[in-house]
Structure 1
Amino acid sequence: MAESKKISNFIDKFRIRNHLAREILAEFIGTWILLVFGDGVVAQTVLSRGANGSALSINWAWGMAVVMGIYFAGGISGAHINPAVTVTMATIGRFPWKKVPFYIIAQFLGAFMAAACVFGVYHDAIQNYDGGERQVYGPNATAGIFATYPQDFLSVGSGFADQVFGTALLLACILAISDSRNGPPPPGMGALMVGLVVFVIGMTFGFNCGYAINPARDFGPRVFTAMAGYGQEVWFTRDGKHWWWVPILGPIVGGICGALMYIVFVEMHHEPEKVENGKRKRLENNHEETPMNDNKV
């Protein structure tokens, strides 16, 4: 009993009480979890030359990585773990702009550290795979483990459109899932639903350039690879065009477009509500409906 009290006192002594600081830590570790599992599955698939992974396993692992990241950070920071989510929520007035820089820095640092961890764990396998020559393109390229690169046929403009479209789907679905007036999932299941959204985006729109749909997920590891021996080629397409900005700006634009799409087509047309005795009621044709339950439309 005394030992338990000592541990409790120790934890309480070092517990961070500043709410923003807690949110920053949560965004950092949530993004770290996302990238550790996400980059890890790509590393296992690439370095085993497909023997220990496939496109299906990559998509599943990324989806479940999102779920785990949300469970890590959801109760503290809302688990944005993606600058596109943070900027979008601020743009539509559901997140304070003053917190945006702190969230984004935490997300980028979490992604950077995750890439470093995956690189460390798989260093010998990478060395065996490429013979010590770090390559961005070519038969023994390993930079794609950490960041996204376009197919040879894909133009920069088409890549940008791909990222806008994929992230628009992500944010539209996130708003749909979190809309308490439109049949939300049961409590605690929202994380799984968002993970399934990422999974289905990967299964349907992951071919062109790897469905980054998250600036931190791409830029943090890209910076790491530039520092880890892959050189300046990490910033460009195979034919020398600047690529690095596409998975940053594309998701930001796409996230805002997707949120507006959901708001315009669905959210703004909900029936008005009033609060009566602590319960929300929907008003329709001047008649009251049955009070809505969390899991009913």
Structure 2
Amino acid sequence: MRSQLAGELVAEFIGTLIILLFGAGVCAMVVAFGTGAPGEIVHGGYTNITIGWALGVMFGVLAAARISGAHLNPAVTLALAVFRGFPWAKVVPYALSQTLGAMAGAVVVWFNYREAILRFDPLLEKSAGIFTTFPAFPEIPAAGFFDQVLGTALLLFLVFALTDTENVSIPSYLIPAVVGLVVLAIGVSFGKLHGYAINPARDFGPRLWTVLAGYRVNGLTDGTHVWWIPVAAPLVGGLIGAGLYELTIRRFLPRGD
């Protein structure tokens, strides 16, 4: 049992690390090398960012699914514990592994792009968004909170739908790609208001790294205190989305005899 849990935690760590490698990696490309020209393709713009994160999620889920179920997100783990019988004793260990994996991914991206980032932002005041999220309107925290609730509710509603064998018959090998498409859709539809973290680990782990790396603007120790929104709101949104699926779809599905 102990070795099984250890394997699951390693899988959650690796899967979340993969998400950050692609997600923060594409953000570093766009921020440190992009010119900001409309329609830029070579170094990318926001469209590239949404694609990079979606692919990261797809590959992370693909890597970890067989061992841990590839939660890769405390909001997913919490919702599964509340609605699908996931053991409560595993919730905190899973969340810690996910957060550490996200932080590790941010560390790798930082050292890979360190020189480019420092040339773009030598005072480390404007590039923490490569690794973590910030609100478009920090003076209106309710807007960012609702945005994160909505995005994560959509994510969990659709994840529950995709993984409910009573609902759809998607081959298991296609689920990672479809989950990636869900993240892509959320990014292109709800991405700019608060960076569509939709995942407390993906946001908080890398934010811790920005503090350790010496970022002056990091949302945690700079007095702005924006860190709690992409941590708390996805947990709330995930429960809402999963609960709505259970209430509005799952309860009406025909059951096999």
Between the two structures, name the one with larger relative contact order (CA 8 Å, sep ≥ 6): 2
CA–CA distance in 2 between the matches of 1:267 and 1:232?
A: 44
From 128, 138, 147, give the equivalent of 2:119: 128
CA–CA distance in 1 between the matches of 2:218 and 2:113?
A: 21
SS in 2 for 1:106: helix
State the partner residue of 1:272: 255
Structural RMSD (CA):
1.7
More strand by share: 1
State the partner residue of 1:78: 69
State the 4+ residue runs in structure 1 displaced beyond 4 angstroms.
none
**What letter corresponds to residue 270 of structure 1 in structure 2?**
L
From 81, 88, 93, give the equivalent of 2:79: 88
CA–CA distance in 1 between the matches of 2:163 and 2:218?
A: 40
State the partner residue of 1:259: 242
CA–CA distance in 2 between the matches of 1:143 and 1:153?
A: 15
The answer as to whether partners of 1:146 and 1:225 remain within 8 angstroms in 2 is yes
From 152, 168, 180, give the equivalent of 1:195: 180
CA–CA distance in 1 between the matches of 2:78 and 2:216?
A: 30
- Deviation of 1:219 after TM superposition, in Å, equals 0.2
The answer as to whether partners of 1:236 and 1:244 remain within 8 angstroms in 2 is no
State the partner residue of 2:152: 167
The answer as to whether partners of 2:210 and 2:218 remain within 8 angstroms in 1 is no
Q: 1:40 to 1:203 in 2, by over 3 A?
A: same
Q: 1:154 to 1:211 in 2, by over 3 A?
A: farther
State the partner residue of 2:226: 243
The answer as to whether partners of 1:159 and 1:209 remain within 8 angstroms in 2 is yes
The higher radius of gyration belongs to 1
The answer as to whether partners of 1:39 and 1:118 remain within 8 angstroms in 2 is yes
- Deviation of 1:270 after TM superposition, in Å, equals 1.4
User: TM-score, normalised to structure 1's length?
Assistant: 0.81
Confirm whether residue 100 of structure 1 aligns to residue 91 of structure 2: yes
Confirm whether residue 205 of structure 1 aligns to residue 190 of structure 2: yes
CA–CA distance in 2 between the matches of 1:228 and 1:82?
A: 24
**Greater CA drift, 83-92 or 240-249:** 240-249
- Deviation of 1:122 after TM superposition, in Å, equals 0.3
- Deviation of 1:93 after TM superposition, in Å, equals 3.5
SS in 1 for 2:133: coil
| Structure 2 gap ranges (5+) | 37-41
Identity of aligned residues (%): 44
Q: 1:232 to 1:38 in 2, by over 3 A?
A: closer
The answer as to whether partners of 1:213 and 1:247 remain within 8 angstroms in 2 is yes
Provide the aligned length of Structure 1 versus Structure 2: 251
- Deviation of 1:20 after TM superposition, in Å, equals 0.3
More helix by share: 2
- CA deviation digits over 1:155-188, x for unaligned, max 9? 1111111111100000000011111122232231
CA–CA distance in 1 between the matches of 2:81 and 2:2?
A: 24
| Structure 1 gap ranges (5+) | 1-15, 136-140, 275-297
